[in-house]
Chains A and B, each alone.
Chain A
Amino acid sequence: MEPDAQLVLSCLRGDGSAWEQIVRRHTRRVYGLCYRFIGNAAEAEDLTQEVFLRVYRTIGSYQSAQGAFTTWLSSVTRNLLVDNYRRSRRDRMTDSIDDAMPQVEETHVAQTPYHAAERAERNAQLQTALLRLSPELREAVILRDLQGLDYSEVRAVLQVPEGTVKSRINRGRIELARILEQMGVRPA
């Protein structure tokens, strides 16, 4: 049995430290997914909390036989992201497109000031380009290339056939490359 599944079992038996370990192990993944999809640190933080709140309430529904815990967790996160996207899209109906474009925030620290600035700028451009992708393509690219899930895991999270997953990832990558080109960014 994988460590996460054991932790889930301990958690269901009422072991508080098991839940703490689950949160500790997966906060980075969930926050990363939220941040890459939304592009705003504060919103990503709120949504990460929401994800773990939902996971805490529904952890009993996780069955290790159906797949890895990370896949289940990514599904929960993705569903909340989609809900959040729909909600914010409704809100944006009255706003201009420019206002709706999330502000890109960069908090990563690199070795030297020069490299830090360069890296931060490149990362911000990448994030901006990601946010210009349609949500369907964006989530597929994030899950595959940023979260490192394989195709079957992405299929399990998105609940679509594997052919669709491959197609979305392929289109997402090409679209992203074109957006970066339009922005005048040439990835190294």
Chain B
Amino acid sequence: MNWTCVQTEQRLTDYLDRATSAEETTALQAHVKGCSDCAVLIAAVEATVRAIQTAPEPEIPPQLFAKIIDATSGVRASGGGWRDWLRHATLIWSPRFAMGALTMAASLLIVLHAASTPGNAEAYAAINPMNLIRAADRQVHRTYAHTAKFVSDLRLVYEIESRLQPESEPAASPAPPTPEQNHQPGDAPPQSNSAPRNYDHAFRSSELFASAISGDLFLSAIRSDP
């Protein structure tokens, strides 16, 4: 059987698919042995087909499925709704975003609290730097007064408590004497037992602490501001 280059081209796919008859296959192979053009063509087509068939599939765009559903039925039976939203809102879970959101929320709370806004539109409109400073000033005064009153009440309670204690009991827990110069004018007179002195020391410390936290320095800074 005579075989030509044109026949090789025409029957190439059948040959690669092993769909040629035994007679055709023998004739083609015999022709190819003496025809380098046909040999090159067969090898090239074989390699091309292999390359196409093993080519990677293109990556599907991530939102394509959701877009199709939204454009058609509009209903996602599985995974849709808030789960989908959560899946795509991964940014929210990042520590940086969470910290930023927390800081913002805390700042907003502080500002609203300091401005003492009742939550209506007029109150929000009244938020401006001068109002905020005045409100903060008021708040600091109030906090200082509350703290001072609390410490004073506490002192009174402990003093009464210490005076009501029996004379024999304090000896069980001796403590170093408190220097007399630590007493302030208006303080209760020093007692013979050590417990009231300890309490007094504690009162003094708490008073100083309360004074510090209530922003005494801040208050004086604001007052000095014209």
Contact = CB atoms under 8 A, between A and B. Distances in A.
A169 interface: yes
A77 interface: no
Interface residues of B, number: 34
Contacts of A123: 55-56
Interface in A14-62: 16-17, 19-20, 23-24, 27-28, 31-32, 35-36, 41, 44-45, 48-49, 52-53, 56
A173 B48 contact: yes
* Interface SS of chain A: helix
B14 A108 contact: no
Contact of A122 (B12, B51, B61): B51
Interface stretch (B62-70, B94-102, B118-126, B199-207): B62-70
A46 to B, nearest CB: 10
A174 B9 CA distance: 8
B83 interface: no
Given A17-B78, A148-B53, 15 more contacts: A28-B57, A31-B61, A45-B61, A52-B71, A52-B72, A53-B71, A108-B56, A126-B52, A145-B53, A166-B13, A166-B14, A173-B13, A174-B12, A174-B41, A177-B47
Interface of A: 16-17, 19-20, 23-24, 27-28, 31-32, 35-36, 41, 44-45, 48-49, 52-53, 56, 107-110, 119, 122-123, 126, 141, 145-146, 148, 166, 169-170, 173-174, 176-178, 180-181, 186-188
Interface of B: 9-10, 12-14, 41, 44-45, 47-53, 55-61, 64-65, 67-69, 71-73, 75-78
